[in-house]
């Protein structure tokens, strides 16, 4: 292929134009040499003609140069060597001069032309080297299939001025199909059928080939070591030379390799994720069967006993209480699961409204009355605590989960403290207990889903704290946990919030 940018003007690309130029230039030179000839004689004219032929050899093809050499020698002979206006030459030295002129013009023209061709080829090679170098460099930085294709399209456009289209292998219902990719929007020009044929047979087809040659594009199979990523269609303007065919095969291999590498790393990622989800599934399965079975067993056992055996009133009450507690536990499990899935699906968004922290805490402690009976609940809310903008229902769950967590881990009779403050545009809530805290190496994982400290007596699905984190983040806040110096855990929630302008509120009305 010819490097388009090396050719200066379309005037010179046309063979016919080149011959025309040759004739015109020589005619013009001969005309201009006429006055010179009158003063200096005809030898000087031969030098000028030789010079002009050499100059043209730099720009024109080999055919026109041969013609130029011939015409110039004939012109010199006809118009300048005596006798004038006749091809006949009288003097022997003039005959020799004419012969050497023709020979020199020919050799000079051909050599100059060859040097130019060599230089052109060297430049072309350099450009190709640059193209493949830039392609390789940019491909190594590409992290996705679309990036790889962008780089390839851009590179081909920049160095070779060709449009290209890519068909990538995709799987749909276990059948491999090709999907057209790329930024070129001239859809009508690509032929899916040819691409499919090329992909199946891994033989190039299309323009300048033996198959499907009645089309604008040449279709190359992209072949890799382990799989074939697809087909590349390129719009060449000329058939390729053998050297260029070899170059393009190498060039496309770079693209194939990059696509294959990307595809394989995607497969590896999928396999890893699959492995992880398999592990998660097993963990969950064990957890669920355990956590759900206990309350279900309690309910079935207790209600069965009530049905078949005559029980005393006290037993009856006791069994009914057990059923109630077990169902409350089931309810809690289901709620946590629902909340988690809502959080994960992004369906929870905070509806912010002015909230009174006293109200919030009071609502939670009311629900947790039973659990808190064994603890000393200490709350510190400043008398001038402003209203803050929160989602009341969501924050109730946050505080509920944290206090319940403390109730489950801290020893009976210990203190659970709740502290609220408004500092630097943030609501800060601190909840502390005197439980065992977290094993320091597990502190980072406290908010992970389904994470439970192994020795946990509390049971549950290990979702409470991850819900706390999710809901806090729904408020654009952060939650952190740390172990207290003595023993116990401290949870700190920081949520950016505004406070109302109280100047407008007249409490005396």
Partner 1 sequence: MNESDLILIIDDEIQIRRLLEISLASNGYRTIFASEGKDGVTVAATYNPSLIILDLGLPDIDGLDLLVNLREWFTKPIIVLTVRNSEDDIISALDKGANDYLTKPFRSGELLARIRTAIRLSMEKTDSQILEFGSLSIDLVSHIVRKNEEIIRLTTTEFSLLSLLARNQGRVLTHQFLLKEIWGYSYLEQTQYLRVFIAQLRKKIEDNPSKPELLITESGIGYRFGN
Cβ closer to partner 1: 366 or 486? 366
Q: Which pair of structure tokens corresponds to residue 29?
A: 């030179």
Cβ closer to partner 1: 151 or 474? 474
CA distance 254 to 464: 51
Tell me the chain's radius of gyration from C-alpha atoms: 44
CA distance 7 to 120: 10
Cβ closer to partner 1: 193 or 503? 503
CB of residue 225 vs partner 1: minimum separation in angstroms? 53
Cβ closer to partner 1: 42 or 418? 418
Cβ closer to partner 1: 124 or 396? 396
Cβ closer to partner 1: 49 or 463? 463
Give the H or E element holding residue 180. Answer: strand 175-181
CB of residue 393 vs partner 1: minimum separation in angstroms? 4
CB of residue 470 vs partner 1: minimum separation in angstroms? 14
CA distance 157 to 163: 6
Pairing state of beta strands 218-222 and 230-234? antiparallel
CB of residue 361 vs partner 1: minimum separation in angstroms? 8
Cβ closer to partner 1: 122 or 502? 502
Residues that bind partner 1 (CB under 8 A): 327, 331, 335, 338-339, 342, 351, 353-356, 358-359, 362-363, 365-366, 379, 387, 391-393, 396, 500, 502, 505, 507-509
CB of residue 229 vs partner 1: minimum separation in angstroms? 47
CB of residue 351 vs partner 1: minimum separation in angstroms? 8
CA distance 409 to 452: 12
Q: Which pair of structure tokens corresponds to residue 184?
A: 């070129």
- Which whole-number Å values give the CA distances from 16 to 55, 304, 372, in the listed order? 19, 106, 101
Cβ closer to partner 1: 254 or 379? 379
The beta strand positions in 345-412, using DSSP E, are 353-355, 376-380, 388-390
CB of residue 255 vs partner 1: minimum separation in angstroms? 51
Sheet of 218-222, strand order: 175-181, 164-172, 230-234, 218-222, 205-206
Taking Cα atoms as reference points, which of 234, 250, 273, 258 lies closest to residue 145?
Answer: 258
Taking Cα atoms as reference points, which of 80, 430, 136 lies closest to residue 256?
Answer: 136
CB of residue 327 vs partner 1: minimum separation in angstroms? 8
CB of residue 315 vs partner 1: minimum separation in angstroms? 20
C-beta of residue 361 within 8 angstroms of C-beta of residue 417: no
C-beta of residue 357 within 8 angstroms of C-beta of residue 497: no
Cβ closer to partner 1: 41 or 393? 393
Cβ closer to partner 1: 115 or 338? 338
CB of residue 446 vs partner 1: minimum separation in angstroms? 25
Q: How many CA atoms lie within 13 A of 321 on its CB side?
A: 6
C-beta of residue 114 within 8 angstroms of C-beta of residue 131: no
CB of residue 471 vs partner 1: minimum separation in angstroms? 12
C-beta of residue 46 within 8 angstroms of C-beta of residue 97: yes
Taking Cα atoms as reference points, which of 440, 402, 394, 443 lies closest to residue 419?
Answer: 402
Longest Cα separation, the chain: 151
Q: Which pair of structure tokens corresponds to residue 14?
A: 């046309």
Cβ closer to partner 1: 210 or 506? 506
């Amino acid at each position: 292929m010819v490097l388009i940018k090396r050719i200066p003007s379309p005037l010179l690309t046309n063979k016919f134009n080149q011959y025309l130029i040759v004739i015109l230039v020589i005619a013009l030179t001969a005309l201009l040499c006429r006055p010179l000839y009158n003063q200096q004689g005809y030898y000087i004219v031969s030098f000028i003609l030789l010079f002009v032929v050499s100059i043209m050899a730099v720009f024109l093809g080999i055919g026109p140069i041969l013609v130029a050499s011939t015409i110039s020698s004939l012109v010199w002979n006809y118009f300048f060597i005596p006798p004038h206006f006749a091809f006949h030459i009288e003097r022997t030295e003039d005959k020799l001069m004419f012969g050497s002129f023709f020979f020199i013009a020919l050799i000079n023209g051909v050599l100059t032309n060859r040097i130019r061709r060599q230089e052109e080829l060297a430049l072309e090679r350099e450009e190709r080297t640059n193209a493949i170098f830039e392609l390789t460099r940019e491909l190594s930085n590409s992290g996705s299939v679309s990036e790889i294709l962008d780089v390839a399209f851009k590179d081909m456009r920049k160095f070779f001025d060709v449009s290209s289209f890519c068909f990538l292998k995709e799987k749909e219902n276990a059948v491999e199909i090709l999907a057209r990719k790329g930024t070129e929007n001239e859809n009508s020009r690509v032929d899916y059928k040819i691409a499919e044929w090329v992909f199946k047979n891994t033989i190039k087809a299309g323009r300048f080939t033996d198959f499907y040659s009645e089309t604008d594009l040449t279709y190359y199979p992209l072949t890799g070591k382990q799989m074939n990523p697809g087909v590349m269609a390129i719009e060449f303007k000329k058939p390729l030379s053998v050297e260029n065919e070899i170059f393009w095969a190498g060039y496309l291999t770079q693209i194939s390799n990059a696509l294959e590498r990307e595809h394989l790393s995607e497969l590896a990622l999928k396999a890893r994720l699959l492995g992880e989800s398999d592990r998660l599934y097993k963990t969950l399965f064990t957890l669920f069967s355990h956590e759900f079975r206990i309350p279900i067993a309690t309910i079935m056992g207790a209600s069965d006993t009530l049905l078949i055996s005559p029980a005393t009133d006290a037993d009856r009450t006791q069994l009914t209480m057990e059923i109630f507690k077990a169902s409350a536990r089931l309810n809690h499990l289901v709620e946590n699961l629902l909340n988690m899935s809502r959080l994960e699906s992004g369906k929870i968004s905070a509806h912010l409204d002015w909230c009174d922290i006293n109200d919030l805490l009071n609502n939670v402690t009311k629900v947790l009355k039973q659990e808190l009976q064994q603890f000393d609940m200490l709350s510190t809310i400043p008398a001038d605590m402003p209203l803050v903008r929160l989602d009341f229902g969501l924050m109730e769950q946050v505080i509920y989960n944290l206090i319940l967590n403390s109730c489950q881990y801290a020893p009976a009779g210990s203190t659970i403290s709740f502290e609220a403050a408004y500092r630097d545009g943030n609501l800060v809530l601190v909840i502390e207990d005197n439980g065992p805290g977290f094993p320091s190496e597990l502190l980072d994982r406290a908010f992970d889903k389904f994470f439970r400290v192994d020795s946990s007596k509390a049971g549950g699905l290990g979702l409470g704290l991850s819900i706390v984190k999710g809901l806090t983040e729904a408020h654009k806040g952060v939650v952190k946990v740390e172990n207290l110096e003595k023993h116990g855990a401290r949870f700190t929630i920081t949520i950016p919030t505004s406070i109302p302008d109280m100047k407008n509120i007249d409490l005396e009305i």
